[in-house]
Amino acid sequence: ETGVTQTPRHLVMGMTNKKSLKCEQHLGHNAMYWYKQSAKKPLELMFVYSLEERVENNSVPSRFSPECPNSSHLFLHLHTLQPEDSALYLCASSQEIRLAGVDEQFFGPGTRLTVL
């Protein structure tokens, strides 16, 4: 595997389910990110991890819970989601987060989530 991989690619879940999205980067990067991409809206940065520590949480509802067990893996745990949470969830990684700004990011193909 190369680059950034995400599993599953598609997920359909009910509002009472608990599921997890997985992201793995094979680039030796130190920073990882979760984004939400909804139709007709800009990408929304959800979480930022640098060296396995969360450094940014952009007011994301608690029904989304990230986990970064090591610098190569990132999870997004989902529980009691709402239909409006249906979107494409993208994972990205970068070499580092510079003090003056983020570095270029490498994206996975995303997980298409549908909440019924």
Shortest distance (Å) from residue 95 CB to other proteins:
13
Q: Which two tokens stand for residue 39?
A: 């139709």
Q: Which two tokens stand for residue 13?
A: 């879940």
Between 12 and 15, CB nearer to other proteins:
12
Site for other proteins in 83-102 (CB under 8 A): 90, 92, 97, 99-102
Does residue 23 belong to the site contacting other proteins (CB under 8 A)? no
Task: Say if residues 3 and 108 touch (Cβ distance below 8 Å).
Answer: yes
Distance of CA 80 to the CA centre of its chain: 17
Q: Which two tokens stand for residue 20?
A: 């997890």
Applying CB under 8 A, which of residues 13, 19, 30, 45 lies at the interface with other proteins? 45
Closest C-alpha to 113, from 26, 32, 35: 35
| Binding region for other proteins (CB under 8 A) | 4, 33, 40-43, 45, 48, 50, 55-56, 58, 90, 92, 97, 99-110
